[in-house]
Structure 1
């Protein structure tokens, strides 16, 4: 799959998730107002937060895909993490904040003002729609994990494409939230006590806090400048060390410049008899090998380094 196809797939995943959340959010809001359920209103806030998140993630994909220019020679990939971080903050403040405060209010007031049936209908329909959106995200996660030759859970933990991670986590949280809302409504209807409806609303808020925290930490790490995974680091090092004129790799540093762009910089100890032409040829070969194997590698910089006296030379630094 080409880089353009990968970007297009991420955009489709975000658009599908956003459309589903918008439709579900309206239905939940109507059901919450009719039934008076705190859990349903919290779920409506959850969907509003998710829909806004999808809009911000769409902006992240579009803004981060702009080409490099003289003022930004490495492109705008990191800007996508800014928008993704704002999306996580919105979920944290709006979605979780409303759900928890409304749940506490419901427990204190202990009032229910409407019928339960409409809430159950909306919950079932919402679960079906969210399942379709999650299935789309799971499909992309599996495809991408195969491309990187890693397990899906490892891909989710390490991927620089935070839009895919965000959609997967939000859709998973949405399904769990719907189950919590259903259990809270059912217990409140059976017991006549709105405590359970309020507790369900609070748990939905806590769930949103967890998702927002995970996404915020991931985006902050990428904004600061995260290296590639240890496995990929070793593979890049092996490719460089296999060059005919290379004695050893003294220092290898990598950085994720965006969801699909990697920078590689290395201090390389070449053979003592290597000429300038040999070093230039090795640099070109290194770039060809790495970009051929990993199309996401956009920049390869090699710095020839002289060996220090002694058996071990200078200490390697990663």
Structure 2
């Protein structure tokens, strides 16, 4: 059997607000970072521009995945299309690794090997300050939404148990973005303080390594959802309790569940019934 938990519609609206907010922030930040990189020649700023552009593309993919996942069940997919969202979440992880981390590490290595001449860093600092403000706002929205869902559970435990990848992907992306901005600012400052532009490239490589780590974590979580994860233990216990209340059931052999969407669960039950129970007509 399948079913949706209460508050599905409200949660969908909140999740989309988080996605739209992150998308708007990242598009504006990406343009500002690319402009700053073209003026100052900073590798870290160019890397951060690519980072924000990749994040924007990721949010568009998640919105696309959410729209596709809402299609009703049909003959070809009798349990619906909910798990399509998990597929696009896995694609997002691949893009973060291939584009975000790959370009960052490549650009960093290129600038370490052949450093750009140092220029006035003022534009970089202004753009980084604005980006920190916008990313911080987006991160705050993502944290508030995630905290509302996780309840008393720990952060990492909530990520592992979450069946909605949109929420924790935005949280991971925004956290990586804030860390990247701080590293970029440090790289620009150290480069000018020591008069060595290679530190700007080192900062770019460090940003790439952070993105690679985030991508691997997201890929692991998305893979589990894509393969199929069971429902939360509390839901399974509720099903067992309901079955135990049925006098016509003498024994329950097993209750097996799998998420077909973030808010939909397929349940398979093996049970023994009272021999005196008559078959329905």
How would you bin the TM-score normalised by the shorter chain?
over 0.9
Aligned-pair distance for 1:265? 0.8
| Equivalent residues of 1:68, 1:76 under 8 A apart | yes
Aligned-pair distance for 1:47? 0.3
The answer to whether structure 1 residue 157 and structure 2 residue 160 are counterparts is yes
| Residue matched to 2:119 | 114
User: Is there any run of 5+ residues in structure 1 with no aligned partner, and where?
Assistant: 281-318
| Residue matched to 1:40 | 45
- TM (norm. structure 2) is 0.92
The answer to whether structure 1 residue 252 and structure 2 residue 266 are counterparts is no
Deviation digits for residues 64-115 of structure 1, max 9, x if unmatched?
Answer: 1111122211111011112222122111111111100000011111223422
The answer to whether structure 1 residue 243 and structure 2 residue 246 are counterparts is yes
Which structure has the larger Rg over C-alpha atoms? 1
| Residue matched to 1:123 | 128
In 2, Cα distance between the equivalents of 1:3 and 1:257? Answer: 14
The answer to whether structure 1 residue 20 and structure 2 residue 25 are counterparts is yes
**Of residues 189, 193, 198 in structure 2, which corresponds to 1:190?**
193
Aligned-pair distance for 1:171? 0.4
Aligned partner of residue 116 in structure 2, secondary structure = coil
In 1, Cα distance between the equivalents of 2:86 and 2:278? Answer: 42
In 1, Cα distance between the equivalents of 2:118 and 2:36? Answer: 12
Higher RCO, 1 vs 2 (CA within 8 Å, ≥6 residues apart): 2
In 2, Cα distance between the equivalents of 1:176 and 1:37? Answer: 17
| Equivalent residues of 1:35, 1:112 under 8 A apart | no
**Of residues 202, 207, 228 in structure 2, which corresponds to 1:204?**
207
The answer to whether structure 1 residue 234 and structure 2 residue 237 are counterparts is yes
Aligned partner of residue 251 in structure 1, secondary structure = strand
Deviation digits for residues 132-175 of structure 1, max 9, x if unmatched?
Answer: 111111111112223xx644442222111101111010001000
**Of residues 85, 105, 126 in structure 1, which corresponds to 2:90?**
85
- TM (norm. structure 1) is 0.82
In 2, Cα distance between the equivalents of 1:139 and 1:266? Answer: 37
**Of residues 217, 220, 236 in structure 2, which corresponds to 1:217?**
220
User: Is there any run of 5+ residues in structure 2 with no aligned partner, and where?
Assistant: 1-5
Aligned partner of residue 253 in structure 2, secondary structure = strand
In 2, Cα distance between the equivalents of 1:247 and 1:12? Answer: 48
| Residue matched to 2:3 | none
In 1, Cα distance between the equivalents of 2:279 and 2:72? Answer: 32
| Equivalent residues of 1:38, 1:201 under 8 A apart | yes
In 1, Cα distance between the equivalents of 2:64 and 2:177? Answer: 22
Aligned-pair distance for 1:31? 0.9
Equivalent pairs, count? 276
| Equivalent residues of 1:247, 1:269 under 8 A apart | yes
